[in-house]
Amino acid sequence: DQQVKQNSPSLSVQEGRISILNCDYTNSMFDYFLWYKKYPAEGPTFLISISSIKDKNEDGRFTVFLNKSAKHLSLHIVPSQPGDSAVYFCAAEHGSSNTGKLIFGQGTTLQVKP
């Protein structure tokens, strides 16, 4: 049972345009959501997060939006840069678990073309 889903395996955008990566979840008990970025041969690195009490969090070129009623979150990157090309994973945490264990989606490979 895939509790966190990223239905688009890949996305290609032109440099300078907006990249929108989507993520859906099924467990209404998730209360904290994160995005990680992964380059080849490296471990995933934390990018941005959002608590379920918010619907938007912004950090520079990166903005995460949360729609709790739809159980959907998205990551916007604007403007996109070639260095943003990587695999992006969304992740969710069950607040009451108190373990810090994250449930990840399958990942979306973003390619930003110069």
Query: What residue ranges bind other proteins (CB under 8 A)?
Result: 4, 6, 9, 34, 36, 41-46, 49, 89, 91, 99-107
Q: Report the residue number, 12 or 14, with the smaller CB distance to other proteins.
A: 12
Beta-carbon contacts of 61 under 8 Å, excluding residues fewer than 6 positions away, are 77, 78, 79, 81
Q: Report the residue number, 10 or 14, with the smaller CB distance to other proteins.
A: 10
Tell me how far, at minimum, the Cβ of 93 lies from other proteins, in Å: 9
The backbone torsions φ and ψ at residue 100, rounded to the nearest 5 degrees and listed phi first, read 75, 5
Distances (CA, A) of 69 to 22, 34, 41, 91: 15, 18, 37, 18
Q: Report the residue number, 3 or 79, with the smaller CB distance to other proteins.
A: 3
Q: Report the residue number, 49 or 57, with the smaller CB distance to other proteins.
A: 49
Tell me how far, at minimum, the Cβ of 65 lies from other proteins, in Å: 19
Could you tell me the two tokens for 44?
Answer: 């995933």
Tell me how far, at minimum, the Cβ of 74 lies from other proteins, in Å: 17
- Taking a C-beta distance cutoff of 8 angstroms, is the pair 97, 87 a contact? no
